[in-house]
């Protein structure tokens, strides 16, 4: 055995193995820790959208709709898992880009049956799978496209989380406006109920003057209770999306919105929609990955070839060298199954891209139509509110002069409240549609000039 170890091929192989050993990776522990709620801080350098990264983040003066989106992209817990998936895909792409290692083999004769003057026989060989080089390029390009797809999918997830944060921002802000209107109306009915109740206790009026105010007050209290529940739900959803503690109270600036998107701007954005929307770019990368896998499957139908060199010595101290070739015979399989799978997978990626593009165009048209209807209804409601305000003012003067009953005033006030809440609901719908349009069009709200009609 000592003599066998002194053969040049084996000795060089062992030296090479020893040289590679220090370059091996080592284990690094990562103890589990309980997560801590995020803080109201944003490192703009970590934001994936350059226009958003240029926006000033300052929670001291309240958060506008863009700052809420920035906070969501940085702190959202679900995005951390998506980013981990992206890191795995990058590692897989790196792994696929590495060439396979050669194979070193060695065998030695341990018997002592050679007789006097015999030496220890051995055999050593070095081989390499040549066929792996044939498909390596296609496989590497496929995994590179997979990694690009994962990165773009992460970008689309970040885009959607930002949009979801903007929608919750709109819902919370509009809910606070509705709460303010309800509180103002409740104060009016509460004052009137208190006065009429004191008058009833003093036998100055009958119960007919008290009942309408009490009924109106109870109806407003019911609406306040229902809205409070909705606000509580929206607030908790926003805090969870932003990775904040459940009890965090955010100061939101109600004077900010995503900005209007008209039909002209939407039409211009649709022209290069596939260039901007991250999910469409991800589907393009997915198609390229499947195309490369299909190419690799076609290349793999050729005979697999392994080339090797051998060096041996028998017990009579005679050395021999040789070359070995191993080749598959493509008579039965010929990789036809993988070729069919690759072709079908590429067709699915092609169809998925086409379907997504068409769905995006349909979404844009639908939201534009809904926005036009809501704006027309809002204009009609504005006219109704002006008329109702005049009716209420006249009813209030008549009631004070004793020329109208309390029922007419209560009905006028309740009608005004209903229209005010309806107007705020329409305003919320329009704001949400603006966010939706920018999302499906791939337009960053902080960069209004990025797309010009």
Total domain count for the chain?
Answer: 1
Compute the distance between CA of residue 210 and CA of residue 440 in angstroms, rounded to an integer. 53
In contact, 52 and 70? CB cutoff 8 Å: yes
Residue at 167 is within a domain: yes
Highest mean pLDDT among 107-121, 247-261, 283-297, 304-318: 283-297
Residue at 204 is within a domain: yes
In contact, 415 and 388? CB cutoff 8 Å: yes
Amino acid 322: pLDDT = 85
Cα dihedral 306, 310, 315, 319 sign: positive
Compute the distance between CA of residue 83 and CA of residue 101 in angstroms, rounded to an integer. 31
Burial of residue 204 (number of CB atoms within 10 Å: 0-12, 13-18, 19+): exposed
Compute the distance between CA of residue 128 and CA of residue 135 in angstroms, rounded to an integer. 14
More confident residue, 205 or 211: 211
Q: Per the structure block, which two tokens stand in for 231?
A: 């606000």
Amino acid 299: pLDDT = 86
Amino acid 451: pLDDT = 45
Range of the domain at 420: 63-98+155-299+343-453
35, pLDDT greater than 50:
yes
Q: pLDDT per residue over 319-332, tens digit each? A: 888 888 888 887 78
- Please list the alpha-helical segments (H only) found in 210-335: 211-241, 263-271, 273-276, 278-299
Residue at 373 is within a domain: yes
Q: How many CA atoms lie within 13 A of 248 on its CB side?
A: 19
More confident residue, 106 or 7: 106
Amino acid 17: pLDDT = 56
Compute the distance between CA of residue 326 and CA of residue 284 in angstroms, rounded to an integer. 39
Q: Does residue 122 sit in helix, strand or coil?
A: strand
Residue at 409 is within a domain: yes
Compute the distance between CA of residue 251 and CA of residue 64 in angstroms, rounded to an integer. 9
In contact, 301 and 335? CB cutoff 8 Å: yes
Q: How many degrees, rounded to 5, is the angle at CA 6 between CA 3 and CA 11?
A: 145
More confident residue, 445 or 194: 194
Residue at 443 is within a domain: yes
Rg (CA), the chain: 37
How would residue 184 be classed by pLDDT, with cut points 50, 70 and 90?
Answer: very high
Q: pLDDT per residue over 165-176, tens digit each? A: 999 999 999 999
11, pLDDT greater than 80:
no
Amino acid 165: pLDDT = 94
Amino acid 453: pLDDT = 36
Amino acid 147: pLDDT = 86
Amino acid 364: pLDDT = 93
Residue at 266 is within a domain: yes
Percentage of the chain modeled with pLDDT above 90: 35
Range of weakest confidence among 95-99, 224-228, 446-450: 446-450
Name the one residue in this structure whose structure tokens are 């066998």: 4
Compute the distance between CA of residue 241 and CA of residue 171 in angstroms, rounded to an integer. 14
Label the pairing between strands 305-313 and 103-108.
unpaired
Average pLDDT (347-356) is: 95
Residue at 362 is within a domain: yes
Phi, then psi, of 303 in degrees rounded to 5: -55, 135
Amino acid 448: pLDDT = 43
Positions of E strands within 269-395: 305-313, 319-327
Average pLDDT (48-70) is: 87
In contact, 220 and 190? CB cutoff 8 Å: no
Residue at 25 is within a domain: no
Amino acid 114: pLDDT = 57
Range of weakest confidence among 281-290, 343-352, 369-378, 401-410: 401-410
Which DSSP category does 207 fall into?
A: G
Compute the distance between CA of residue 194 and CA of residue 186 in angstroms, rounded to an integer. 12
Q: pLDDT per residue over 223-234, tens digit each? A: 999 999 999 999
Q: pLDDT per residue over 403-418, tens digit each? A: 667 777 888 888 899 9
How would residue 36 be classed by pLDDT, with cut points 50, 70 and 90?
Answer: low
Percentage of the chain modeled with pLDDT above 70: 89
Compute the distance between CA of residue 279 and CA of residue 353 in angstroms, rounded to an integer. 9
Amino acid 38: pLDDT = 66
Q: How many CA atoms lie within 13 A of 223 on its CB side?
A: 21
Q: Per the structure block, which two tokens stand in for 17?
A: 């193995």
Average pLDDT across the chain, whole number: 84
**Backbone region of residue 62 per phi and psi (left: phi > 0; alpha: psi in -120 to 50; beta: other values):** left
Amino acid 13: pLDDT = 55
Compute the distance between CA of residue 206 and CA of residue 241 in angstroms, rounded to an integer. 54
- CATH code of the domain in which 168 resides: 1.20.1600.10
């Amino acid at each position: 055995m000592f003599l066998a170890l002194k053969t040049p091929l084996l000795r060089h192989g062992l030296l090479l193995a020893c040289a590679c050993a220090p370059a091996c990776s080592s284990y690094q522990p990562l103890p589990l820790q309980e997560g801590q709620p995020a803080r109201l801080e944003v490192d703009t350098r970590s934001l994936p959208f350059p226009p958003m990264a240029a926006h000033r983040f300052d929670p001291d003066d309240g958060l506008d709709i863009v700052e809420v989106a920035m906070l969501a992209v940085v702190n959202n817990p679900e995005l951390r898992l998506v980013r981990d998936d992206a890191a795995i895909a990058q590692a897989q792409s790196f792994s696929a880009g590495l060439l396979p290692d050669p194979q070193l083999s060695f065998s030695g004769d341990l018997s002592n049956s050679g007789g006097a003057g015999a030496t220890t026989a051995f055999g050593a060989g070095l081989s390499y799978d040549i066929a792996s080089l044939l498909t390596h390029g296609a496989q590497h390009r496929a995994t590179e496209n997979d990694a690009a797809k994962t990165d773009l999918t992460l970008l689309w997830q970040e885009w959607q989380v930002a949009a979801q944060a903007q929608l919750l921002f709109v819902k919370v802000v509009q809910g606070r406006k509705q709460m303010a209107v309800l509180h103002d109306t409740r104060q009016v009915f509460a004052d009137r109920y208190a006065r009429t109740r004191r008058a009833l206790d003093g036998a100055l009026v009958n119960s007919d003057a008290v009942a309408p105010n009490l009924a109106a007050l109870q109806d407003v209290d019911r609406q306040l209770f229902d809205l409070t529940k909705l606000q509580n739900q929206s607030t908790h959803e926003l805090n969870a999306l932003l990775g904040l503690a459940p009890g965090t109270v955010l100061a939101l600036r109600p004077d900010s919105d995503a900005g209007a998107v008209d039909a002209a701007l939407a039409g211009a954005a649709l022209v290069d929609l596939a260039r901007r929307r991250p999910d469409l770019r991800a589907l393009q990368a997915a198609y390229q990955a499947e195309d490369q896998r299909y190419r690799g499957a076609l290349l793999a139908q050729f005979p697999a070839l392994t080339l090797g060199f051998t060096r041996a010595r028998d017990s009579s101290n005679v050395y021999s060298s040789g070359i070995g070739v191993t080749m598959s015979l493509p008579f039965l399989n010929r990789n036809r199954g993988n070729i069919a799978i690759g072709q079908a997978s590429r067709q699915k990626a092609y169809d998925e891209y086409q379907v997504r593009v068409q769905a995006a165009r349909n979404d844009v048209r639908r939201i534009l139509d809904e926005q036009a209807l809501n704006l027309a209804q809002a204009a009609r409601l504005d006219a109704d509110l002006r008329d109702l305000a005049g009716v209420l003012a006249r009813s209030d003067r008549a009631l004070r002069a004793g020329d109208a009953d309390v029922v007419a005033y209560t009905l006028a006030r309740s009608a005004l409240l209903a229209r005010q809440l309806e107007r705020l609901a329409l305003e919320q719908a329009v704001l949400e549609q603006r966010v939706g349009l920018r999302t499906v069009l791939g337009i960053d709200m902080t960069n209004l000039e990025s797309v010009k009609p």
